[in-house]
Chains A and B, each alone.
Chain A
Amino acid sequence: MTWRHQSNRWRRFDDWDNRPLRLDLFSKDDPSNGFTAWHGENDPTPSLTIKNRLVTAMDSVSVDRFDMIDTFIARYHIDVDIAEEAMAMSSDEIARMLVDINVPREQLTRLAHGMTPAKLADVVARLSAVELTFAYAKMRPREMPSNQGHVTNAKDDPLQLAADAAVAVALGFDEIETTMRVSRNSWSNALACCVGAAVGRAGVLFQCSSEEAEELEIGMKGFTSYAETVSVYGTEGAFIDGDDTPWSKAWLTSAYASRGIKMRCTSGAAAELLMGFHEAKSLLYLEARCLCMQRGMGAQGTQNGGIDGAPLASTIPGGVRELLAENLLAVWLDLECASGNDARHSESEIRVGAKITPYLLAGSDLICSGFGTILKYDNSFNPSSFNGEELEDFLVLQRDFEADGGLRSVEESSMLALRQRAVDALEAVFDAMGLAVPTSTMKQSVVVASGSNETETFSVGDVGRISSAIQQKGITILDVIKVLHQRGFRDEAENLLFLLRLKLSGDFLQTSALIRDQKVLSAVNRPNQYLGPGTGYRVSAERLSELSQIRGELDKDAVITGQAVYAASEAKKISYRDLGDYIPSSEPKEVVVAISPAFGTRLFQTLAGHSLADVLRCLGEGIEAEGMAMRVIRCWHSADTSFLGLTAARLSGSGIGIGIQAKGTAVIHKRGRLPHNNLELFSNAPITSREHYQRLGANAAIYARGDWPEPVIVTNQGEALGARFHARVALIYAIETAMLVADRHPQQVAITFLESSNV
C-alpha cells in the first residue's frame, strides 16, 4: 500500500467539501435566539377580543400592552366585521380551503382580513411546500405572471445603465430597478435608466432604490414610476432602528400615490434577526406582522420572501419553505407580491434552481423582485438568484415547463444596435443639458461590454458630478422628453410621454398593475380567477411559441447542412465502390466491418468530429496490426449497431465482425451470439478517439485469432452526454433509418484511401 491510500477519513468527504454548496452556512434551529422558521419561543397563540368594534386584545396581548405595531395592525388591518367569523374557524379548515379549487379566491381574501398575524401564520404553517405552491398559484392577485429586473453596475456608469436598461426591456421585464454604489449618484442612475428603459417599448415601470426621502424626490421629478423600498419590520426595535414607524411609512405610502407613483412595501424573513431585534419570535410570525401592517397602510403590494434576509433565512431548517409561506401570506392578504428570489441564497446552483421552481410553476405577480439582468459583479444590490450569467438558464426553465416567467429570448443580431441606440439617446440628453460628453471610445466600449470590467467610461467622480448637476439644475422628465424628441429620439420621447399620461389616470396604482401593449393590467381588470384545470392563466399559443424559442435550436436541416460541409473533404480522402451482394467467405484471417447506410454517403463525421475516412483507416490499421485483413460491407436492412455487428460477424470468415454507424458508435460481435450480447461496445461516440478505433480494430483481430484481449474502455468524466448529443443523435439516426431497404442484401464495398494522410 502506498502513501496515496493513507487517509483517516472517507475521501468522499473531501469531494463534498469542495462543492460550492459547502460555502453555504447552515444554522441550528434555535427558537430562543430567533433562528426558527415556524416556532419562536415567544410566538403568541392566536386570539382576538373585540369590544364595541374595538380590538381589546390580539394574539395573547391586551391593548394596554400593545406595542406600536400591534396598535397599527389592530386599527388598520383587522376588519372587525369579519374577525369574529374568521378567528372562530379552525386553522386546519382554512388551510384546506386554501388548496381547494372549489373555494374562490375572494372568499379567502375576505377571511384573511379578519385574521390576526398569529392566526394567519398558524394556517400557512400547516401547508407542505407543494400545497404552498398550489395555494400561491390560486391566490396570487393578477392573472398573468411577470418579472422584475435589476439594472446596476459597479461603476454607476450611466452609459452602461442606459444600454442595460434597454436590454432588460427587450428581455420582457415589466419593471426595472436600479440602485447605486455611491448614494449621491442616484440622480444619474435614475436619469440613465429612465432613458434606457424608454428604448424599445412603452410602459416599463422603473424605480430607483435610494434613501426614502430622496427616492420620493426623484419620483416627484418624474423619472421613476414606482417605488419598492418602503421597508417594514416586524418588531418595534427593528422598525425604529430602520429610522421609521408604521405611521411615517403610511405617510410615504400616501405620498407616492399622491404623485401618481406606484409603490409596494418591502419586508421579509430574517430582517429583524439581522438587525438584532427578533424578540425570540419566528420568521413567519414576524413577517405576518409586517404584511398586516402593509395592508393596513394601504400599500397595494409587497416585495417579500426574505429579500435581503433570504440568505440568512435559508440557513435555518425549513427556511426556504418559510419563504414560500410568507409569499403566500402576502397574496392571501390580497397584496401584490414581488416574490423575492433576488438576493442569492446559495452558492449551489442546484439550490438556486430548486428555489425558483415553485415560483415559476405557480406564477407570481413578479417572480423575482430583482432578477439580475447584469453580471453578478455589476449587481449593486448583491448577486441575485439569477443574473446576466444565468439568464439563458431561466429562459430554458420556462421552455422546459412551458411556464411563463415573464421573459423572452433576444435576437443576437439586434442587441448591438439596441444598446447603441440607448447610449446615443443618453448622450443626447447629457449634451443638451450640459451634463457630460462621452467620447466615442467610451460609448463603443459600453455597447459591446458584457459587464463594467470591460468598459472605459466615466469615473465614479464624474458620475457624482453628473448626478449633482441633474439635481441642482432641477432637470425633470419634461426636459428629458423635450430633448429626446429634438435630437431625433422620437419613439423614446413618445414612450416616456405615454407613462406620464398614464400617471394622470392613477390606473397603475391599483393592485398588481403592470403595463403591456400600452394597456394597464391589474388585479382589478385582470384578476386571477383560478378554479382548477382549464381556468386562470393559460399560456397562449403565441406566448408558448415565444417561450420555446431558444438560441441554437437544432433541426434535421441543420444537421444535414452541417454534415454536407464535410462531403467535399471526405471525397478527397476516400472512395466507396459497391461491388454487389456480399458473398460470405471462409477466410479465417479476416474481420468484416459493416457500415451503416448513411456512412460516407450522407453523413461524413462522427459525433466526436472524426472524419469517417479516418475512422475506417484506424480500424483497418488496428486489424492489420494483429495480422488480419479488413473487409467492408454496407448494410441496408438495419442501421442498428448490434445488428450491423452481428451481420458482419455472420458473414465473416473468422466469425468476428465490427458494426459501425456513421455517428461513430461501434461494436465488436461474434457469430452465434445474441444480438445485444456483443463482445465489446463503443457506445460513447462523442468521446471515442481515433486511438480507440485503432484498438477496437486490433481487439477484433485478436478475438478473430481466438485470443482474449484486454477490452477497450472509453472512460468519461461524467459528462451528460445525453444532454450534449442525443438530439443530434436522434436526427442523425433518423437519416440512417430513412435510407433502410428491408430486403436488400449487404453489399460488398471496395474502400480506397485517396491520400496518405496522417491518422
Chain B
Amino acid sequence: MSNNRKSYPLSENHADELRASNGFHLDDLTIENILNDKVTMADIQIAPETLSHQAEIAGAAKRYPLADNFWRAAEMTSLPNELIMEIYEMLRPGRALDRSSLDACAERLRNDFGAEKLALFLEEAAEIYTRHGVFSKRF
C-alpha cells in the first residue's frame, strides 16, 4: 500500500489488500461464509497494519495526535477485549491503590504484546497519578 493521503479511502483504493488482524481476507467476508459459520468475530478485527496506514494518512493531514492514537490502537489490536477493559478499569480514579499495578501491566504489554507505546502510556499515567493523588481510594 502507498502511504500518502491519496490511498484513502482504503476501502475503495486498496480493498484487495485489506485483511483482518488474523489474516482473514476482506474478500472472504461474505454472506455465504457467514451463513456457513465460516466467519468469527476475530475475522472482523481490524489489522494493526491497517490502523498504521490510517495513522500515516492522519499524519499526512497534519493530525498528529489522531495519528498517535491510531498507532496506539494498532498495538491494542492484539490485546484481548478483557485485558483492554481491565486496564481501562485500572486507569479510572481510585481503582489502583498505587503505581505498581499499572507498572506491572506496562511490563506485560511490553513483553507479551510488544506494545511499547501502550506501555509508555501506562507508565506515564502511573507517574501522573502518583503526583496528583489519583491512587487514593474513592469508595
Residue numbers of A with Cβ under 8 A of B are 67-68, 71-72, 75-77, 79, 106, 109-110, 212-213, 216-217, 220-222, 236, 240, 243-245, 247-248, 250-260, 295-300, 334, 476-478, 481-482, 485-486, 490, 493-494, 497, 500-507, 509-511, 519-520, 522-525
- Judge if B58 is at the interface, Cβ distance under 8 Å: yes
Which one of B19, B73, B91 contacts A504 once the chains associate, using CB atoms below 8 Å?
B19
B128 touches A71 (CB 8 A): yes
Contacts of B61 in A (CB 8 A): 510-511, 523-524
Q: Give the CA-CA distance A477 to B9 in the complex, in Å.
A: 24
Residue numbers of B with Cβ under 8 A of A are 5, 8-12, 14-15, 18-20, 26, 29-31, 34-35, 37, 39-41, 44-47, 50-51, 53-54, 57-58, 61-70, 72-74, 76-77, 79, 81, 84-85, 87-89, 91-93, 118, 121, 124-125, 128-129, 132, 134, 138
Number of contacts between A and B (CB, 8 Å)?
Answer: 197
Q: Give the CA-CA distance A42 to B61 in the complex, in Å.
A: 36
A258 touches B31 (CB 8 A): no
Contacts of A243 in B (CB 8 A): 92-93
A497 touches B31 (CB 8 A): yes
- Tell me which of B44, B64, B69, B89 has the highest count of chain A C-beta atoms within 10 A of its own C-beta: B69
A299 touches B69 (CB 8 A): yes
Contacts of B63 in A (CB 8 A): 300, 334, 511
B76 touches A258 (CB 8 A): yes
Given A485-B34, A506-B54: A79 in contact with B64 (beta carbons within 8 A): yes
B11 touches A298 (CB 8 A): no
Contacts of A493 in B (CB 8 A): 31
B66 touches A511 (CB 8 A): yes
Given A258-B46, A486-B35: A510 in contact with B91 (beta carbons within 8 A): no
Give, as a whole number of angstroms, the nearest-CB distance from B40 to chain A: 7
Which one of B20, B62, B69 contacts A257 once the chains associate, using CB atoms below 8 Å?
B69
Q: Give the CA-CA distance A236 to B125 in the complex, in Å.
A: 15
Give, as a whole number of angstroms, the nearest-CB distance from B16 to chain A: 12
Give, as a whole number of angstroms, the nearest-CB distance from A579 to chain B: 78
Identify the closest chain A residue to B72 (Cβ).
Answer: A254
**Those 3 A-B pairs whose CB atoms lie nearest each other, nearest first:** A298-B69, A257-B73, A258-B76
Contacts of A213 in B (CB 8 A): 85, 88-89
B79 touches A506 (CB 8 A): no
Give, as a whole number of angstroms, the nearest-CB distance from B45 to chain A: 7
Q: List 15 interface pairs A-B (beta carbons < 8 Å), by A numbering.
A: A67-B132, A71-B128, A222-B44, A245-B93, A245-B125, A247-B129, A251-B121, A334-B62, A334-B63, A485-B31, A503-B46, A504-B19, A507-B9, A510-B54, A511-B66
Which one of B66, B76, B138 contacts A255 once the chains associate, using CB atoms below 8 Å?
B76
Give, as a whole number of angstroms, the nearest-CB distance from B68 to chain A: 6
Identify the closest chain A residue to B51 (Cβ).
Answer: A506
Q: Give the CA-CA distance A252 to B93 in the complex, in Å.
A: 14
Q: Give the CA-CA distance A476 to B43 in the complex, in Å.
A: 13
Q: Give the CA-CA distance A485 to B124 in the complex, in Å.
A: 48
Contacts of A300 in B (CB 8 A): 63, 66
Identify the closest chain B residue to A216 (Cβ).
Answer: B85
Q: Give the CA-CA distance A212 to B91 in the complex, in Å.
A: 13
A485 touches B11 (CB 8 A): no
Which one of B5, B11, B19, B87 contacts A524 once the chains associate, using CB atoms below 8 Å?
B5
Give, as a whole number of angstroms, the nearest-CB distance from A595 to chain B: 68
A257 touches B51 (CB 8 A): yes
Give, as a whole number of angstroms, the nearest-CB distance from A473 to chain B: 14
Q: Give 17 A-B pairs besides A506-B50, A524-B61 with Cβ atoms closer than 8 angstroms.
A: A216-B88, A220-B81, A243-B92, A247-B124, A248-B93, A248-B125, A257-B51, A258-B51, A299-B66, A334-B62, A481-B34, A497-B31, A505-B18, A505-B50, A507-B8, A520-B12, A524-B58
